[in-house]
Structure 1
Amino acid sequence: MTVIRSVEDFYENMAVSEACVLGKRIFKKQFYEHGQLGAADKKAFVEDIESIEWRFTLKPSTINIPKLEDDTHEYLEIAVLQVVLSAIERHTRIATVIQKAIPYPLLIFFVSGTRLALSAADKRINRADANKIVVETTYDTGWIDTAAVLPVEAAFLADFRITNFSYRNLHDFYQDAVSRIIALNCGAHSGRYVTGAGEKPKAVRLEALRQMDKLQQERVETRNKLKKEKNLGTQVGLNTRIKQLSDRIEAIRNEL
Structure 2
Amino acid sequence: MLLDVPGFIASLGLPDGCRVDQRVPKKLLLENGAPTAADKRLIANTVEEIQWVAALKPNTVGVPDYRDELREYLEVAVLAVTLRSQPAQDKIRPANAARLAELVHRAVPYPVLLLLYSGQSMTLSLAHKRWAQNEASKVVLDSDMVSMSLPEDAPSLDALNAFVQAIALTRQPRSSLFALYQGWMDSAQALLAAKLTGMFKAADGPEQAAIRRHALQECARLETEATRLRTLAAKEKQLARQVELNLALKRVLVQLAAAREQL
The DSSP-based 3-state class of the residue aligned with 2:201 is: coil
Distance between the aligned counterparts of 2:171 and 2:113, measured in 1?
16
**% identical aligned pairs:** 31
Give the alignment partner of residue 246 of structure 1, picking from 230, 247, 253: 253
Please report the RMSD computed on the Cα atoms of aligned residues, expressed in angstroms: 2.2
Give the alignment partner of residue 148 of structure 2, picking from 142, 146, 162: 142
Question: What pairs up with 1:37-186 in 2 under 5 angstroms?
Answer: 37-86=35-84, 87-89=91-93, 90-145=96-151, 150=156, 151-186=158-193
The DSSP-based 3-state class of the residue aligned with 1:55 is: strand
Alignment CA distance shift 1:159-1:202 (3 Å): closer
Q: Which residue of 2 aligns with 1:23?
A: 21
Matched, 1:237 2:241: no
Count of matched residue positions in the alignment of Structure 1 and Structure 2? 252
Q: Which residue of 1 aligns with 2:88?
A: none
Distance between the aligned counterparts of 1:69 and 1:175, measured in 2?
14
Distance between the aligned counterparts of 2:214 and 2:37, measured in 1?
32
Q: CA contact under 8 A between 2:128 and 2:143: conserved in structure 1?
A: yes
Q: Which residue of 1 aligns with 2:87?
A: none
Alignment CA distance shift 1:126-1:229 (3 Å): closer
The DSSP-based 3-state class of the residue aligned with 1:211 is: helix
Alignment CA distance shift 1:139-1:191 (3 Å): farther
Q: Which residue of 2 aligns with 1:6?
A: 3
Distance between the aligned counterparts of 2:171 and 2:75, measured in 1?
18
> Which segments of 5 or more consecutive residues in structure 1 lack a partner in the other structure?
none
Q: Which moved more, 1:65-74 or 1:48-57?
A: 65-74
Q: CA contact under 8 A between 2:26 and 2:49: conserved in structure 1?
A: yes
> Which segments of 5 or more consecutive residues in structure 2 lack a partner in the other structure?
85-90
Encode CA deviations 1:96-149: one digit per residue, 9 max, x unaligned. 111111111111111122422211111122354331112112333321128x86
Give the alignment partner of residue 211 of structure 1, picking from 218, 224, 237: 218
**How big is the shift at 1:36?**
4.9
Q: CA contact under 8 A between 1:68 and 1:169: conserved in structure 2?
A: yes
Distance between the aligned counterparts of 2:258 and 2:194, measured in 1?
14
The DSSP-based 3-state class of the residue aligned with 2:204 is: helix
TM-score, reference length from structure 2: 0.86
TM-score, reference length from structure 1: 0.88
Q: CA contact under 8 A between 2:20 and 2:55: conserved in structure 1?
A: yes
